[in-house]
Structure 1
Amino acid sequence: MDKVMQRAVVFTTVLMAILGGTLCVVGLERLIRGRFTLFSMVRFLLRFTLILFLPLLSYMRAKAKDDEILFVLLWMLLIELFRKKVEAMVPSASSGSFSRSASRFRLMGHSDEVTRLVWIGFLIYSNVDWQIGMKTKKAVMLPMFAILWSLAVAKLVQRVLNEWKAQDSLSAAGSANLIAGYMQHVREQQEEEGQPGRRHSDGGSSGGSGAGGGASPDVDLDTVMGKCQYVVMGEEKLVLNKKERGRRQTTGSKVLLTTPHCGYGVGRFPHDQDELKHVHLLVDLDKVKNLVTVKDIWQNLGRWLALFGNRRPKFIDHMLLMCLSFSLFKLLRRRFEHYPMVEVGSKMARRLMIEGLLNDHEPAVADNASRAFRVIQLELDFLDNYYQAGVPVVMSAPWLFLINFLSSLLFVSIYVLAVAILVIITPDNNDTKYFIITMLLVMTLLAVEITDFLTTYLFSNWFLVHLLCLYVAPGGGLWNFLVNPIICCFIAYRLLVFSSLKFVLKLTGRPVNEKKMKIKQVSILRVCEPVHKMFAWTSQATLPSEAKVAIVKDLKAINLDTGVVNLPHDDISGFDFNIIRGKTATEIILACHLATELLEVKHGKPKKKPKQKEQKPEDWDHQTVATTLSRYCMYLVARVPELLPDDERWVSDRYEDVKSCLKEASRRCCCSTWCCPWRRAGRWKAVAEMKDQLKEATAKAGVKLYQQLEKGKEDSAADDAWKWKVLAEFWVKLLIYLAPSNDVEGHAKALASSGSDLITCLWALCTHAGIKRHPPEPAELHAGTQQV
């Protein structure tokens, strides 16, 4: 039994070292690719091995003799050091990380750490002290262990200090409150200057081409962002300090900003922002010039363009968009922490989103659409990273970053020294497994520390935005002469490192394409097939660029005077969707997804078209758009029903009912349950003719819709293209209808688990643009539940 447990310890340690090295690699890759990497899975496995290692350590401590106990005590100190770092690398939505309480100091949150350190200290005292009298050459280990334990306690005190500072910092925990007050000031300033903050009608209607806001053809992103007053950094400078509040006088520069109509009931604030904090903020408006805004970034970084001519390099575009994403992240954070978003629905916000970010002017329509999605993905990455342990430290006080780095470096150095001394003074140890385990744990420690330093601090997007804000902030001649060149050198070094990493990934067959966006797919037909269902859990597909363009065009077409999107019953030209009228969103998804899948079974998969530099809308592959978005909506039903408008139990029940109905119908059409894969098409074609025999109303509606699509138009030459064009337009509009939501908790959970998914990106876009979902009338819902 002892040998089995020892082998388990060695195996767990080797696995831990491998996962530590992998964590370092995928952590750097995550900086380039975003959330869609193996980082979360590797972090989970590493945490799992740490938990498994604890009972194994207890067993080793009970069986250890003489010198072996010293190694075990070193391992316990080491595990206690980086266990907290591994746990904090990815936020947990289940513990309420995405909330105002995320940066609050809680003493009970550190009770487990204190208990473990006290226990380890007792073990060190009881197992090292008595050996001093027996073996004098080992007397050096007592002060060494005392130093290591003291450093572990110092790390705990440091984490407590970090939480305390982040809680009181106006640039971290208090930022959402300041942003709410600042945006109230910006909105009032717009009204005083004759640019009303309220929405104005543009003479369009929902779904009309002219309802997007009347963007002129000559307006581009640079023009809009060159006037944007959204803050990027420095909002904490607005607040009056204690001395200034004590000698406050009634002057024009010191004012009290409030957000009216908040916190007094349900639905009184624009766009159903109910039960929000009523902000009262005393600020000095003379300090507004000290803020770094999107306008400052765009104007100051524009000076670099002189070095490159008229063509702007991609890395400058990336830095500009990153600063815009950081500003949008600060705005969206108020939604999670229940502060009012006063600019929602204003002309200012509408101009930024519609004329700027969602600009779809020729010739680079696809590039502009990809840029909009990339900005929102970066924004959600900032939001996700903020609720990790290290990022509030970066925001709250830069000097804390230096203390964290130096203390980690000191601890690692002393620990390596202690290992070397222990190996020297125990030369008579014939078994080398303790030395091997110790070296592997040191390697794991180094990997975790390096990963944390590179991804959270040195190469993080947070640090880059902070440097860019320092670069554009007004400074004296000495600052511009000394600091700005250093910032430029670091940015160039970061660009070189990232370019090298991208080149390495390309050599390994994994090139990085920032325009690509992966979305998950579920096909209900494959789920119902015995042969395929084991492979049909969840697959991934690339969101077609045509789908991005279509989504952007439909978002621009929404009448922002009302900001309301409806179910796409009457908005699709050339087809009558009365079959699904009056049904819930879940039933519409299930029925239309079934019709789309049956249509693909009938006509086969689309043939790949040669890529063209300038592709017209009529040349798009509508079948790919329709099937991809259809299976993504089916994924929402099957895997993440909490993101849909309907109740989760209702969604699950309808999904199971349709799936059971299709399985039963499929069994009637074949001689065996395990039917041959090549008979798949024939089986589902037979099911498509069984409308009257299907018992489930939603499945029956899907088959009926498919049959109506199959009748098509009289012009058979354009019939197939017309069917897929209708379905592609329908799925785009339905996805936009599903995106707006007040369920912030559901999106927080999805963001923490799967990253910036498509539905969450569209939710963030709709939140900024002031778009909300129009609920169906109760009479319509009841009408759709009776009979098809």
Structure 2
Amino acid sequence: MDDGSTMLTTCPSTITKYVQNLTSSYTNKSNESSVVATSVFMLVLAAVFFNLNLFSRVSNTSAVLNPTARLILSAALSLFFPVMNYLFSEAKSEGDASSSDLSVRARVILTWMLVVELLRKKVDAILVTPGMQPGYAEIISHAAAVAWLGYLVFFNVKGPGRVAVFGTLWVLCAARFVQRLVITEIGNRSLAYGKNARLLTSYMAQLLHARRHGGGAVEEEVQAPPSPQDRLKACEYVVMGEENLVLKPGPHGYKLDLGKVATDHNVVTVGKIWTHADVETDHPLFRSNPRIRSQCLSFALFKLLRRTVEHLPAMSKEETEHCGDLIFQGICSGGVSKPQDSGEALFQVLKDEISFLSEYHHSIHPVVFASPYFFLVNYFLFPAVVCCLCLLTILLCGNGNMLDAYRSILTENYAISTGVFTLTKCLWRNFLLTPGVFFSTIDISITYLLFLAFIYEVLWEFLVFVFSNWFMVSLLCTYTAKPHMFQSPTYSGALHRISWANRMLGHPSLIAMKQFSVLSFSWLSMTLSSEPLPTHAKDSLMERFRLAADDRRRAPLTTGNHVLGTGTDMSWFCESESVAEVILTWHIATALLESKYPSETCSAMEVATRLSRYCAYLVAFNPGLLPEDREGTQLVYEDMKKALKEALGTWGYYLASEEKRRKKVMEATPNKSMPDCRDATMNVVQKGTVLGKALMGDGKGDWELLATLWVELVAYIAPSSGDDHLKGQKEALVQGGELVTMLWALATHTGVTRPPPSEVAVTHVEDIEEGLRSSAA
């Protein structure tokens, strides 16, 4: 391989020697393939890091890294350090024997290791819940990696100028590790974060007990007038500051001083915020972001929902009734917005709540700790301390003489002395001239890209923190508790701009649903399109849950019988042990009806088709979100695919267009009149086709019926049905949550459940023994 000696003379002569030194480890082709492969791997890794930082805001949950990207990066980083350590030792041994200093190649590899360590936290979520901690093994592993890098820097790099540069990078790595460790450990042990769910369990239990026995200020909430605004003003759900109520831990939770709820300004409740906002309606904070109050309500509900996610005692019947009254008689009756926009307001509250829950468990940025105090400490005081440590490192490398250290940095680091832009320009002009220059250009570009990714990541973390919903909630709580802090025009102006940016970046009304049709062909969920949840669907779902909460006996959630009536011809298509089978049957019928009347456009058709495709997506790609066993749902879907392949043929199943697939399905299924359609031997595809033909019988699409039925099905699958269903909801949180996750939260708060299955009756041993004793007596 050419060593780069034929470089154009337009570049400084020293660059030729630099390229020769950088490529000397493979000019003799002894390990050329491994070094080239490493350069390519590092280029891909650097590009991935840079792109993740550049395009992270594409997702609404900007503080949460996509799980696929996290998996890929985690796998890459698990291979990175062993491989780089090996290549570092190889490059070190191939250096100049007459010099004890590292070769240029070894120093480049060491730079990559340090900068990638700085970027490591892009992959690691900040876990502040004790039950979700990975344990000390991962912390020790991370600490060992930082310590090993310190050994490589201070025991291998020679020359005060080089040690100063690499030592500064190592100080940054160590500081970021300590920062992440301190944040995690403090959050884990804090009553406001890690222990907050248990504290809220005690708070709600004692609050309800005080309400039952007439506890002063709590009694007023029981006698609150029915006005939606007054209900919210009387709400004592805590937003922030509940740790100030703790007197001491007890055998059954924390003992609290509930009297402080009314007297302590640091304890901020939903009622205090609503009352304060009515008084300060002209404040820029409320003018620039009208929904900031509802964000605080979402935050309070998120704290209550954490108890379910962390497997703490479930909400009592009394609590769900009180919460349901707040939601349906407060939020849904005009307490947050105009009554005609109540559906939008409810789903905005639910969306923000699930966003808080998602970021709490999966955030890679410290947004969970957002507050003015943390903002000052983490983004001003901590960087100042780190800068002092870096200067101290440079001073020690210069033996106490900062001027000598500065001169050494300029003379011993070629990229700095020559000039970064001069070196880059010269290499890019000649990178196709020789292989040596080409790979030198790649290596230098990788280094630049890693540094840019690190700088961008630091800036982006700052922006995500400042414009996050967490920070806005904290600012409003601070304003409610200490309004005198916001009297400064400068402070108020900053709040106004932050609030405006938060509103502009939030995409408040968009609730996207993946769309999938079994009559089309798709392998991956990432290739599916998304459509927003229609406003009419939001209103219908709100009313369905309100009806189920108000009258659970007369309006229980069903798979369709509540809409179609029991014993009717069409109700037979809802009578199945598997809700997945019901979904697929009605999905096929809806798809066939849509193809029959494609020119029809109405809100009911929009609701029916979008919810139909969304439910089909859940069956095919997210069976854990359905209320039945995952394996059973997967079996139903596989049987449906086999039946569809039999009807279409192999070539038609994989290659035919959606229109041709629909026609062929219609032709392959015999016509059956509705009274005689009950045939238990039909498969799902045949049932759906027969139902679709029946719906076409009147010459027009009955979209109102279908829209109501799909609302009923979506409401039916939302409530929790055990640990497996809860696990599926928790898995969906890493993606920001699904529509059914929001409805699951609503059902949890309001106590809406499905009727127990009648097919399986379980009798406990204790009940049998009690019955035997009673009969013997």
Q: TM-score range by the shorter chain?
A: 0.7 to 0.9
Cα distance change on mapping 1:672 and 1:153 into 2, 3 Å: closer
Amino acid at match of 2:458: E
How many Å separate the matches in 1 of 2:493 and 2:184?
A: 32
Contact conserved, 1:57 with 1:76, CA < 8 A, in 2?
A: yes
How many equivalent residue pairs? 668
Matches within 5 A, 1:320-719: 320-342=293-315, 345-346=318-319, 347-359=321-333, 367-387=341-361, 388=363, 390-391=366-367, 393-394=369-370, 398=374, 401-402=378-379, 404-406=382-384, 422-423=413-414, 433=441, 434-455=443-464, 457-474=465-482, 479=485, 481=487, 485=489, 487-498=491-502, 513-527=507-521, 538-560=528-550, 562=552, 565-573=556-564, 576=569, 577-601=571-595, 603-608=596-601, 620-667=602-649, 674-675=655-656, 679-689=660-670, 696-712=682-698
From 118, 128, 131, give the equivalent of 1:101: 131
Which residue of 1 is the match for residue 20 of structure 2? none
Give, in angstroms, the shift of residue 640 of structure 1: 1.1
Task: Please say if residues 345 and 769 of structure 1, whose CA atoms lie closer than 8 Å, have aligned partners that are also in contact.
Answer: no
Structure 2 residue aligned with 1:120: 149
Task: Provide, for residues 250-287 of structure 1, a one-character-per-residue CA deviation record: whole Å limited to 9, x for no partner.
Answer: xxxxxx7xxxxxxxxxxxxxxxxxxxxx8422222332
1:775 to 740, 756, 771: 756
The offset of 1:638, in angstroms, is 0.8
CA 1:727–1:320: 2 relative to 1, 3 Å: same
Q: CA deviation digits over 1:498-521, x for unaligned, max 9?
A: 57x76xxxxxxxxx8532321012
Give the distance between the partners of 2:527 and 2:166, measured in 1 at CA: 51
Partner residue of 2:713 out of 731, 734, 754: 734
**Cα shift at 1:358:** 2.7
1:140 counterpart residue number? 161
- The answer as to whether partners of 1:190 and 1:197 remain within 8 angstroms in 2 is yes
What SS is found at the alignment partner of 2:530?
strand
Q: Which amino acid aligns with 1:514?
A: P
Distance 1:238 1:336, change over 3 A: same
2:280 aligned partner: 304
CA separation in 2, counterparts of 1:606 and 1:706? 17
Match of 2:3 in 1: none
Query: Any idea what the Cα deviations from partners look like across 1:499-554, whole Å, max 9, x if unmatched?
Result: 7x76xxxxxxxxx8532321012211113xxxx77899633222222111111111
Pick closer, same or farther for the CA change 1:185–1:396 going to 2, 3 Å.
farther
Q: Does the residue aligned with 2:670 lie in a helix, a strand or coil?
A: coil
1:374 Cα deviation from its structure 2 partner? 1.4
Change (3 A) 1:762 1:168: same
Gaps (5+ residues) in structure 1?
92-96, 132-137, 199-214, 246-255, 257-277, 503-511, 609-619, 713-718, 782-788
Q: Distance in 2 between matches of 1:170 and 1:362?
A: 29
Distance 2:390 2:325 in 1: 52
Distance in 1 separating the partners of 2:63 and 2:460: 17
Partner of 1:252: none
1:446 Cα deviation from its structure 2 partner: 0.7
Distance in 1, matches of 2:594 and 2:115, equals 57
2:111 is matched with 74
Q: Percent identity?
A: 27
Alignment of 1:174-185 (within 5 A): 174-185=195-206
Residue in 2 that maps onto 1:236:
243
Distance (whole Å) between structure 2 residues aligned to residue 561 and residue 98 of structure 1: 39
The answer to whether the 8 A contact 2:624-2:728 is kept is: yes
2:619 aligned partner, one-letter code: V
Q: Name the SS of the counterpart of 1:240 in structure 2.
A: strand
Q: Per-residue deviation at 1:197? A: 11
Q: Provide the C-alpha distance between the structure 1 equivalents of 2:334 and 2:178, rounded to a whole number of angstroms.
A: 52
Shift of 1:463: 1.7
Distance 1:298 1:191, change over 3 A: same
CA separation of 1:404 and 1:762: change in aligned 2, threshold 3 A: farther
Shift in Å, 1:591: 1.8
In the alignment, the residues of structure 1 paired with residue 526 and residue 468 of structure 2 have an alpha-carbon distance, to the nearest angstrom, of 36
Task: Describe the shift of the 1:423–1:287 C-alpha distance in structure 2 as closer, same or farther (beyond 3 A).
Answer: farther
**Matched residue of 2:640: which SS?**
helix
State whether residues 719 and 744 of structure 2, in contact with CA within 8 Å, keep that contact through their aligned partners in structure 1. yes
Question: Partners in 2 of 1:380 and 1:466 — Cα distance?
Answer: 18
With over 3 angstroms needed to count, the CA separation of the structure-2 counterparts of 1:544 and 1:44, relative to structure 1, is same
1:681 deviation in Å?
4.3
1:155 to 1:676, Cα distance in 2 relative to 1, 3 A: closer
Bigger Cα displacement from structure 2, 637-646 vs 182-191: 182-191
Specify the code of the residue in structure 1 equivalent to 2:190: S
Equivalent-residue separation in structure 2 for 1:362 and 1:185 (angstroms) = 27
On the 8 A contact 1:625/1:728 being kept in 2, the answer is: yes
Is 1:165–2:165 an aligned residue pair? no
Task: Kindly report the root-mean-square deviation, in angstroms, between the aligned alpha carbons of the 2 structures.
Answer: 4.2
Structure 2 residue aligned with 1:292: 268
Structure 2: distance between partners of 1:724 and 1:382: 36
Q: Deviations over 1:549-589 (max 9, x none)?
A: 11111111114464883324432257540243243212211
The Cα of 1:661 is off from its aligned counterpart by: 0.9
1:764 maps onto 2:753 in alignment: no
Match in the other structure for 1:111: 140
Shift in alpha-carbon separation, 1:606–1:535, aligned structure 2, 3 A: farther
Return the alpha-carbon distance in structure 2 between the equivalents of residues 373 and 39 of structure 1. Answer: 23
* AA partner of residue 732 (structure 1): V
Pair 555,196 (structure 1): closer, same or farther in 2 beyond 3 Å: farther
Cα distance, 1:99 vs. partner?
6.0
Is the contact between residue 240 and residue 283 of structure 1 (CA under 8 Å) also seen in structure 2? yes
Distance 1:746 1:99, change over 3 A: farther
Task: Write the distance in 2 (CA, Å) between the matches of 1:141 and 1:392.
Answer: 38
Distance change >3 Å, CA 579–CA 748, structure 1 → 2: closer
The reply to whether residue 189 of structure 1 matches residue 210 of structure 2 is: yes
Tell me the residue number matched to 2:91: 63
Shift of 1:140: 3.4
Tell whether the 8 Å contact from 2:286 to 2:292 is kept in structure 1 after alignment: no
Post-superposition offset of 1:54: 3.9
Distance in 1 between the 2:170 and 2:63 partners? Answer: 38
Aligned-residue offset at 1:16? 4.6
SS in structure 2 at match of 1:305: coil
Alignment-derived partner of residue 55 in structure 2: 26
Distance 2:338 2:178 in 1: 53
Range that drifts further, 390-399 or 231-240 = 390-399
Q: Say whether residues 1:226 and 2:249 are aligned partners.
A: no
**Contact 1:98 / 1:748 at 8 angstroms: preserved in 2?**
no
Instruction: In structure 2, give the amino acid aligned to 1:374.
Output: Q
CA contact (8 A) 1:358 1:369 kept: yes
Q: Does the CA contact (< 8 Å) of 1:349 and 1:768 recur in 2?
A: yes
- Output one character per residue of 1:419-459: Cα deviation in whole Å (capped at 9) or x when no partner: 8662367769996545443322211111122222222x322
Q: Secondary structure at the match of 1:773?
A: coil
Match of 2:119, SS? helix
Higher deviation after alignment, 332-341 or 354-363: 354-363
1:447-499 deviation per Cα after TM superposition (whole angstroms, max 9, x unaligned): 122222222x3222212211111111046x6x4645xx554232212145457
Deviation string for 1:722-754 (max 9, x for gaps)? Answer: x222121111111111100133222101111x2
- TM-score with structure 1 setting the length: 0.74
Distance across 2 between alignment mates of 1:708 and 1:780: 35
